[in-house]
Chains A and B, each alone.
Chain A
Amino acid sequence: MRIPCPFCGDRDAREFVYRGDAAPRRPTADDEFHDYVYLRANPAGAMRELWYHAQGCRSWIVVTRDTRTHEIFGAELAKDAAR
């Protein structure tokens, strides 16, 4: 599989570390932390997810991938991703 790193270009997926759903935002209220740490949606279809280009530019990136087909629609730097 190839991951389109916004800085480096298309790279072998083995250069990356997978983290998971990019949607959860670190909360400010204490009672929201449980969901933030443990609860994840498991969508069938397009999903924005976090990958770390550990053996590349060391960027955290948000990759949009179809969880059914593994088709990748694009990627952007996490620090630039819409918040």
Chain B
Amino acid sequence: MAEALTIRTRSGFGLATITARKGVAAGAIGQALGLVAPAGPVWTAAEGVMLLGTGPGVWLAHAETVSPFWGDGLRQRLAGLAAVSDQSGACVVLRLSGAGARIALRRGASIDLDPAAFRPDAVVVTAIAHIGVTFWQVDAVPTYDIAVPRSFIGSFHHWLDVTAAAIRLPVPASGEA
């Protein structure tokens, strides 16, 4: 049956890649930023900043609202601990919410999103429609944020719009559990 799916484009956020220097553990990075830096593909958050584990010793820092020079500030706080590259302009972040959000991502990504297998704090770096994306679950509605490289956003919407239309159809179709 038709499943609810809302899609909106987020704005005003900051994104930055943090890569630990050799031998620097997640703990030291987290301490410098005032939260627990995850060691695996999950996220943690404190005071408006999220740290998303995107690789071994690599995180994507995400903040709701930032100044344009947020990246420089991060670099200073992590001096000697990590490399920092501002990516605030690199991605369009879409927020997908509703029961249909899980179906849409499942159709796009070869990732097990069933609540039995998918941690609510999981971070996924993968490909949807041949486009490299990063997504994470925001709440249990479920709501997901998905970061799409800016140059690909038109093609991503081509996939998402067609997929969302099928999910919203008021016709019964098997496989939409």
Of the candidate stretches A19-27, A31-39, A54-62, the one touching chain B is A54-62
The residues of A that contact B127 with a CB separation of less than 8 Å are 14-15, 55
A9 sits at the interface (CB 8 A): yes
The docked-state distance in angstroms from the alpha carbon of A9 to that of B54 is 12
User: How many contacting A-B pairs (Cβ < 8 A)?
Assistant: 35
B110-132 contact mask (Cβ, 8 Å, vs A): 1 or 0: 10000000000000111100001
Nearest CB in chain B to that of A14: its residue: B127
B56 sits at the interface (CB 8 A): yes
The docked-state distance in angstroms from the alpha carbon of A11 to that of B110 is 7
Q: Name B's interface SS.
A: strand
Q: Name A's interface SS.
A: loop
Q: Which 4 interchain pairs have the tightest Cβ spacing?
A: A57-B55, A12-B110, A55-B127, A55-B132
The residues of A that contact B41 with a CB separation of less than 8 Å are 7-9, 57
Chain A interface bracket (under 10, 10 to 19, 20 to 34, 35 or more): 10 to 19
User: Footprint of A on B, CB under 8 Å?
Assistant: 40-41, 54-56, 58, 110, 124-127, 132
The docked-state distance in angstroms from the alpha carbon of A38 to that of B126 is 32
The docked-state distance in angstroms from the alpha carbon of A60 to that of B40 is 16
Cross-interface CB contact of B126 among A55, A58, A59, cutoff 8 Å:
A55
A77 sits at the interface (CB 8 A): yes
The residues of B that contact A77 with a CB separation of less than 8 Å are 56
